[in-house]
Chain A
Amino acid sequence: MKLWPRNVRMRLTMWYTLVLAGLLALYAGVASLFLFLSLREDFDNNLLEDVETIEGSLAKEPNGQVSLRLNHTDGAEPRVGHFIEVWSPDGTLLYRSSSLENVALGAPSSKDEGSKGDSPSTVRLANGMRVRVASSVYHIEDYRVLLRVAYDEGRLWRELGEFGEVLLLGFPIAVLLAGFGGYGLARKALAPIDAMATQSQKISAERLSDRLPIQNPQDELGKLGLTFNDLLARLQAAFDQLRRFTADASHELRTPLTAIRSVGEVALQDQKSVPEYRDVIGSMLEEVDRLTRLVESLLALSRADAGQIQLQRTHISLLALAREAGSMVEVLAEEKGQQLDIDGDASLAVDVDRLILRQALVNLLDNAIKYSPANSQISVRVGKGADNQATVDITDHGPGIPREHQAHVFDRFYRVDKARTREWGGAGLGLSIARWAVQAHAGELTLKSEEGQGATFRISLPLANNSSSSQGKGGLQ
């Protein structure tokens, strides 16, 4: 098996050559067979013509003997390689060509020999010669004789042999030429792959913007190249996102660390009273709390990314769940004089992990309360969407989200207003977590917003199968 080449180019060539050699051999065989059959047919026709001629030369002598009067120019003998035997019905040899040197043309005659329709047959003589024998029964007056005429087959085989020699001589040349041709073709066909491989080796995480060269986007290799480039584009996007994420995360981690450090260092610079120190330590602990929560959120997201979170699904009314989430944050709305209005179709049930989906709802409501002005209204509507989906629309009357930010609000650490958000204590992960939570339930979280006219976040979730039969189940705790 070691002889079998490892690279595709050589393998293709080998296969190609092997198949071609096989086909050529088959062709040569069939051609030889046909040639042989056609030659033999001519041979036999000549033989049968000769039989008739010779029959005409047979005559009965006045003494009762049968004689052969051949009118060949070269004498009384037939041509070289032509043999004649004449037998009487009782099995007596009447004539035999002298060139046969007393070798019989086959076995003594049988009864049927020479009957009509008897085609010539090949006979091996006692001296090793292969001859083609035609037999015929001939009546001279009322005397019945058996005539055998035979041709030496040597000529037939020689002609076939010459043909075979020509084929055999041409065969290796043809196979060799085909092999070289095949190798060249394979090489040419695979050249783009080589180019792609060379280019791929140059592409690394740092140079993901490079793309593979594509000679013809229509052919198979071109399509492969396009697929690769597509993959590279997605990889590049993922890497960019990761890079941005890392930068943002380290920024978010650095901010509380800086606060802890500077608060501690400044406090140590001079003597303070006990209550003052307590205050400093408390302030540092607040930052620690922020750090802890950030790490928790990142961990939750990374576990979600890794698919490690198992959903504990229960059958639950979506409106009840929305009310439950609302009850958790409504004090925040009350503090701002906002009205939190939750309503909708109570019969719509979903199969969800209550805590995880509630988290999404709480995050969205918290967001809506944060960004809405005092005394405004925040409405939550549970309804039925298209395609057997239940929807929750959370609409606020805040400043809205500018169009250019809308695509990014779900990105981790993304903030529409970088300066403002820290006072609210968020790290820009709330919407990412909410979106993950919804997507984990095969749902979707979308945003519709016009700048200056508030925003609507819509959660779409697949309805539970027997939605109407079990309304109101699994409500508030």
Chain B
Amino acid sequence: MRILVVEDEAKVARALREGLEREKYEVVVAPTGEEGFFLVNAQQFDLVILDLMLPGRDGLEVLSTLRKRGLDTPVLILTARDAIEDRVQGLDSGADDYLVKPFAFPELLARVRARLRRGRGDQSLRLKLADLELDLTPRKVKRAGQELQLTVREFELLEYLLRHKEEVVSREMLAREVWKETSRATTLDNVIDVHINRLRRKLDDHFDRKLIHTVRGVGFVLREEQ
């Protein structure tokens, strides 16, 4: 999987490259719009991560020329301009998704994954991790064959974590996906922490192998080892 990152901020570009390479993606970085434009025409990419504020050629300009040439590579836009018009404009020009800076890296990873496996879709009704099983019909959770009693919210939270198992999930992602709170100004951090703690109590307290892990400063991850 080849990803083109068009980003002029060197630090951000480097972090993106390292983070994505760690996830086994092949990353090419273009520091200007011109270069990004050239690369996208010359080579084959599976995904383009495009900063909107670029020297030389504006990100939107790059994007719309790209689409005019009939290239349908998925494009994920990064923007520091948090205005609604920008989002609309970005999507109008043919972007598939956008992220507002400063974004959390787990969030970016989740978006990248979603773009690359689009069409395949994770629609399975039974999710598993180690000895943890989650059934959507009927809604049941078992650990080591033992059924766990979860509230509706805890169930949704666990389902989301399971669908993103072995990925770090930020509180912001949880707030948006599980609590459907789109405004980043509303803080649900405490609420999320309480729910995670409760889930942890029901899921992990009686077992030696812990599944829910906190990544300090970033979020949570559901995984087997550690």
Contact = CB atoms under 8 A, between A and B. Distances in A.
Contacts of A303: 83
Contact of B198 (A288, A327, A331, A359): A331
A285 interface: yes
B217 interface: yes
Interface stretch (B4-12, B43-51, B125-133, B187-195): B187-195
B179 interface: yes
Interface string B92-124: 000000000010000000000000000000000
Interface string A442-477: 000000000000000000000000000000000001
B22 interface: no
A297 interface: yes
A308 B84 contact: yes
B195 A331 contact: yes
Interface residues of A, number: 37
B68 interface: no
B99 to A, nearest CB: 13
Contact of A281 (B186, B188, B217): B217
Given A282-B217, A284-B217, A308-B83, A296 B194 contact: no
Nearest to A293: B187
Question: Chain B interface: which size bin?
Answer: 20 to 34
Interface string B166-189: 000001000000011111111111
B191 A332 contact: yes
Given A331-B191, A477-B180, A278 B185 contact: no
Contact of B216 (A279, A292, A366): A279
B186 A359 contact: yes
B216 A293 contact: no
B136 interface: no
B180 A286 contact: no
A57 B187 CA distance: 127
A297 B185 contact: yes
B218 A355 contact: no
A328 B187 contact: no
A64 to B, nearest CB: 120
- Give the 10 A-B CB pairs with smallest separation, nearest first: A285-B217, A282-B216, A282-B217, A300-B185, A296-B184, A297-B185, A331-B194, A286-B217, A296-B185, A359-B186
17 contacts: A278-B216, A281-B216, A281-B217, A282-B217, A282-B218, A285-B216, A285-B218, A288-B102, A293-B185, A296-B184, A299-B185, A310-B84, A328-B191, A332-B190, A335-B194, A363-B186, A425-B190
Interface of B: 82-84, 102, 153, 171, 179-191, 194-195, 198, 215-218
Interface of A: 278-279, 281-286, 288-289, 292-293, 296-297, 299-300, 303, 308, 310, 327-329, 331-332, 334-335, 355-356, 359, 362-363, 366, 425-426, 429, 433, 477
